[in-house]
Amino acid sequence: MPPLDHDHCYSIVKNGDRRFDGWFVTAVRTTGIYCRPSCPAMTPKQTNVEFHHTAAAAQQRGFRACKRCRPDASPGSPEWNLRQDVVGRAMRMIADGTVERDGVRGLARQLGYSERHLNRVMTDELGAGPLAIARAHRAHTARLLIETTSMSFTDIAFAAGFGSVRQFNDTVREVFGSSPTDLRKRRGAAVSSVPGEVTLRLPTRPPFAGTELMAFLGAHAIPGLESWDGEVFGQVLSLPNGHGVALLRAHDDHVEATVRLASWSDLATAVQRLRRLLDLDADPTAVDQSLGQHDGLRSLVARMPGRRASASVDPVQTAIRAVIGQQVSLAGARTVTGRLVAALGEPLDPVLIDGTDLNHAFPTVERLAEAPDELFAMPKARRDTVRRLASAVLADDVVLDVGVEYGAARASLLALKGIGPWTADYVLMRGLGHPDVFLGTDLVAVNALEAADLSVVDADRWAPWRSYALHHLWASLGTLDAAAAAAATTRKVNS
């Protein structure tokens, strides 16, 4: 990542441009605070500010978060969804909670580097190492729990990933300039009265085609695992320490998420996975401006600005679902997958699913690898491919997580019998959130290209946003946007 241009950043701050919230933070030396670029406070003198890629870097230098603009509550940087180098992959894994679960040593091992080298690379580029960045995430999680639940501070400390209550207290004071008690006193009245439930505001950059996004997800909803009533999309989450349920409602600049968890220690991971599902860290202005320059796409982008390219809460689950859906209609794939979920998925705690149509988690790869033939209700070749994929994930021959390199993931999938380019690329796009995938053999995409007087060759000019272009094309053939057009995404020329 290149060094931040001081003059350019200051111009953004002077104009209060919200589009750059999350890209960098502004640290004001005279006040000792750091802000998001759009902070409404009086713009400081240019000689009194410095700019940092991450909040963690500002905190490392003794700055605390602004109480007015809440930089900790801004959208994340879209940079990390694009980059495939070690820093980009590490940032995605840190946000997913890898440091809390496995420590910095475990993070480095999964990335294939030494702990010392990883620390040096991240500090040189971002001004903060993985532990400092993870600490900033913990502080954000702690503030969420302080302000939106009635949990004790002791429970919050360990749920957020701190090693002790003292460490929790010290970090909150240092980062936010307030004690946990003060933060709780200032919170609003919107605290959930349901044990184990919290309602969060997940911010995003406008424009945001949230209604269309929810309809797209709803069109693919698996009974029991997901739900869609026309306004609220429900999603079961399989998390490191237990299951969870999320109920999502789109607004113009954010998504309202009601989250229920078996373990509060999974909150930060749940939030990050929901943000990836909804593509909330995207830079829609950059995407729309780039795609809108091309004939054939210009009208589609103008019709639906801020369209998102949904990823997944679980890339392995997406891969299994993609295999099940090979060569069948969306309705057929939903039915077959729903039966598999009911037969092999773990039933959820009634407390988690109260008042919803959700009831089971997606089956684990262990259960899928060992399940008897009669539970699959699909052709033998496809059933065997599901088993091969599950066994390959168990053996670590196929690794599908937020830190995997896209090329390595694609190669490992293609090495399995029964998985072709369409399926592998679909997993990269929908499972891992790759922003630059075009499914050139997808029948809906081919038909949409023909209708727009375009060809697959034209797609090369749409990089690095070909996934977004594909979503626009899918939607272009349906009167209900992606909810209708994407119904054929499982019907393709080859797997």
For 313-330, the pLDDT digits (tens) are 999 999 999 999 998 888
For 209-264, the pLDDT digits (tens) are 999 999 999 999 999 999 999 999 999 999 999 999 999 999 999 999 999 999 99
The stretch 296-301 carries a mean pLDDT of: 94
CA-CA distance, 389 to 412, in Å (whole number)?
10
The stretch 259-282 carries a mean pLDDT of: 95
Q: Is 35 a catalytic residue?
A: yes
- Greater confidence (192 vs 237) lies with 237
| Confidence band, pLDDT 50/70/90 cuts, at residue 488 | very low
- Whether the per-residue pLDDT at 491 is higher than 90: the answer is no
Has residue 350 been placed in a domain?
A: yes
What pLDDT score does 494 carry?
47
The answer on 331 and 275 residing in a single domain is no
Indicate which CATH number applies to the domain containing 53: 3.40.10.10
The answer on 173 and 202 residing in a single domain is no
Of 128-132, 316-320, 370-374, 483-487, give the lowest mean pLDDT range.
Answer: 483-487
- Whether the per-residue pLDDT at 117 is higher than 80: the answer is yes
Catalytic residue among 9, 35, 66, 69: 35
Of 112-121, 147-156, 272-281, 361-370, give the lowest mean pLDDT range.
Answer: 147-156
Which residues form the domain of 104?
79-148+151-185
What pLDDT score does 202 carry?
93
Has residue 493 been placed in a domain?
A: no
Catalytic residue among 21, 279, 283, 442: 442
For 368-379, the pLDDT digits (tens) are 999 999 999 899
CA distances from 187 to 143, 183, 309 (A): 10, 6, 34
The answer on 201 and 66 residing in a single domain is no
The answer on 466 and 320 residing in a single domain is yes
The answer on 470 and 353 residing in a single domain is yes
Q: Which tokens sit at 50? A: 């410095």
Has residue 479 been placed in a domain?
A: yes
Say if residues 29 and 49 touch (Cβ distance below 8 Å): yes
- Whether the per-residue pLDDT at 92 is higher than 90: the answer is yes
What pLDDT score does 188 carry?
58
The stretch 327-339 carries a mean pLDDT of: 92
The answer on 472 and 345 residing in a single domain is yes
**How much of the chain exceeds pLDDT 90, in percent?**
85
| Confidence band, pLDDT 50/70/90 cuts, at residue 483 | very low
For 197-223, the pLDDT digits (tens) are 889 999 999 999 999 999 999 999 999
Instruction: Identify which of 147, 136, 134, 152 has the alpha carbon closest to the alpha carbon of residue 201.
Output: 147
The answer on 84 and 51 residing in a single domain is no
Handedness of CA 47, 53, 55, 59 (dihedral sign): negative
- Whether the per-residue pLDDT at 192 is higher than 80: the answer is no
Q: 238 — phi, psi (to 5°)?
A: -105, 110
Looking at the structure of the chain, the number of domains it has is 4
What pLDDT score does 333 carry?
94
What pLDDT score does 149 carry?
83
- Greater confidence (3 vs 473) lies with 473
The answer on 360 and 484 residing in a single domain is yes
- Whether the per-residue pLDDT at 142 is higher than 90: the answer is yes
The answer on 236 and 142 residing in a single domain is no
Residue type, 182: D
Q: Is 66 a catalytic residue?
A: no
The stretch 45-49 carries a mean pLDDT of: 96
What pLDDT score does 193 carry?
54
| Confidence band, pLDDT 50/70/90 cuts, at residue 486 | very low
The stretch 181-191 carries a mean pLDDT of: 75
Distance of CA 410 to the CA centre of its chain: 19
What pLDDT score does 82 carry?
83
The answer on 209 and 115 residing in a single domain is no
Q: What is the mean pLDDT of the chain?
A: 92
